[in-house]
Amino acid sequence: MKNYSSKLKAPFFWFPLITLIFSCNHQQQKLTPDQVSNVKTSVTNLTVNIASDVSTKGPIAWLNYFENSPDFFMASEGQIVFHNYASAQTFIQDTLTKNISKIHLQWSHIRVNALSTQTASIGSNFHEDMIMIAGNKTIPVDGYFTATAILTNNGWKLRNLHWSLKKL
C-alpha cells in the first residue's frame, strides 16, 4: 500500500490548491453600494410582504414565497422538515391549513446581507400568534429565522429557511 501522506505534506501539493482557492475567491465580483442597497431593500420588502400575506391569508400564503424547486428545503430546530417544495406544498395544503386558521407574524431586527445581486441571507427575530381552528386557541411562538433568498423570474423567493424556537 502506498503512503500518500508524505505527498500531502509537500509544498508542491498545497501551493496550487491554495492558489486555486484564492483565485476563485477573488473572481467574485464586489457589489457596488447601490447594488447592496437594492438587494437589501428588495429582500426587506420580501419579509414585509411575507408577514403581511401570512397574517392576512393564513398559512397558505407561505407557498407564494418558497422557491418552487427541488432545491428548496426547510428546517426547524436542526431537523429537515421539508426536503423540497412539493413536500412543503403537500403539508401546508393538507395539514397546516386544516389546523391553523390564522397566523399573525411579526419580524424584528431584520438583517439582510447581500451575497450577490441575486442572492441574500436573511436573519430575524420573529413572533407568531397561531390561531388554531380547534377551540379557537392562540399559540404564541417566538424565535429566530434564517433564510437564503434568491431572485427568480417571479421575484425574490426563499430557497431555504430555518426556524429556531425560543425555549420558554
pLDDT band at residue 168, thresholds of 50, 70 and 90?
A: low
Structural domain of 146: 32-165
CA dihedral for 48, 49, 52, 58, sign (positive or negative):
negative
Tell me if 84 is assigned to some domain. Answer: yes
Average pLDDT value for residue range 16-30: 52
Tell me if 8 is assigned to some domain. Answer: no
Tell me if 47 is assigned to some domain. Answer: yes
pTM of the model: 0.80
More confident residue, 29 or 151: 151
Average pLDDT value for residue range 158-165: 96
Tell me if 2 is assigned to some domain. Answer: no
Tell me if 131 is assigned to some domain. Answer: yes
Give the CATH number, domain containing residue 139: 3.10.450.50
pLDDT computed for residue 4 by the predictor: 47
Q: Quote the number of domains for the chain.
A: 1
Tell me if 17 is assigned to some domain. Answer: no
Residue 19 has pLDDT above 90, yes or no: no
Single out the residue of 119, 107, 143 nearest to residue 67, CA to CA: 119
